Structure 1
Amino acid sequence: MKRILIIAVITMATSALALGQTTDKKAARSSNVEQELIKLDKEWTEANVRGDTATLDRIFADDYTVTNVQGEVLTKAQAIANLKSGVNKTESSTPDDYTLRVYGDTAVMTHRSTTKGQYKGQDASGQHRSIHVFVKRGGRWQVVANQSTRIPQQ
């Protein structure tokens, strides 16, 4: 009886240790994905400021959709065309206050950004809250959806 109890305790302890290691690995993997996506988001921001449509073409999935702060729903082609033509001009943008949730090959990111720029000749400067949906396809992350909302000035 004593022997069975000792074996049971050892088995439970070993299982708990293995479970803890699995959880640690998942947390580390999730943290790596979060850092990778924040880096990708900052590349996206810099590409907008520079007018770098080649980088945006790589970051945006072919089925990308954006709902902008004006409430317009645009495709990847329309969003890139707006940047190329000067309809959308971003002089500066500083993202912060990131929150990420990773669900396997899908991730949802929210953040705040302070932006200076114009859209269709009108001042579009201010603070915005955005939500991005990323999907990992072919071994790389791309954004498939984005929505931004202006934060009212207080």
Structure 2
Amino acid sequence: MPNPLRRMPVAVAAALLALAMACGPQTAGSDRALAAQLKAQAEAWDQAILRKDAQAIADNVSADFRHIAKTGDMADRAAFLKDLLSPDLVIHPYTVEDFDVRIYGDCALLCGRTRMTGTYQGRPFKSHYRYIDTYVRQDGRWRVCSVQITAMPE
């Protein structure tokens, strides 16, 4: 089969190459903008969790949400929200380290590491973990559909 690119005029090939190069940075730029948007959304979610803002927490979670704990236990959306909003749980302010966003079309993976402290039923706790939050774009909106936590040594 003949190669149609061999018969393409040099000017046309150059124009196509220039067009392809021009499109590359725009795509990368839009990914950077989306990554910044998702980072801000994740930070707002963290703050909502600290405030126990039930509506803001729930609004960021998909209907089919799943949480895989560091023990391997799995919780659905209702159980996750109930546990997180329990008055027995108090989470102190925390920061996320090693934060990273990877975007794959309508799916984004937000990863990081957190050292969390607080109290549960009046008893202090410490937790050091790495996590991955999977966000999906549904109806034009990004929501967390899955969270998985892996314990790290103190």
Gaps of 5+ in 2: 1-7
Distance 1:52 1:124 in 2: 22
Indicate the percent of aligned positions where both proteins have the same amino acid: 23
Q: How many residues align?
A: 148
Q: So what's the TM-score if we normalise by structure 1?
A: 0.86
What is the aligned partner in structure 1 of residue 110 from structure 2?
109
What is the aligned partner in structure 2 of residue 16 from structure 1?
17
Gaps of 5+ in 1: 1-6
Distance 2:148 2:125 in 1: 15
Tell me: CA distance 1:62–1:147, structure 2 relative to 1, closer, same or farther (3 Å): same
Structure 1 moving runs of 4+ over 6 Å:
none
Distance 2:16 2:142 in 1: 34
What is the aligned partner in structure 1 of residue 5 from structure 2?
none
Moved more, 79-88 or 15-24: 79-88
Q: So what's the TM-score if we normalise by structure 2?
A: 0.86
- 1:115 deviates by 1.5
- Whichever structure has more helix as a proportion of its residues is 1
What is the aligned partner in structure 2 of residue 41 from structure 1?
42
- 1:70 deviates by 3.7
- 1:59 deviates by 0.3
Moved more, 50-59 or 81-90: 81-90
RMSD: 2.0
What is the aligned partner in structure 2 of residue 80 from structure 1?
81
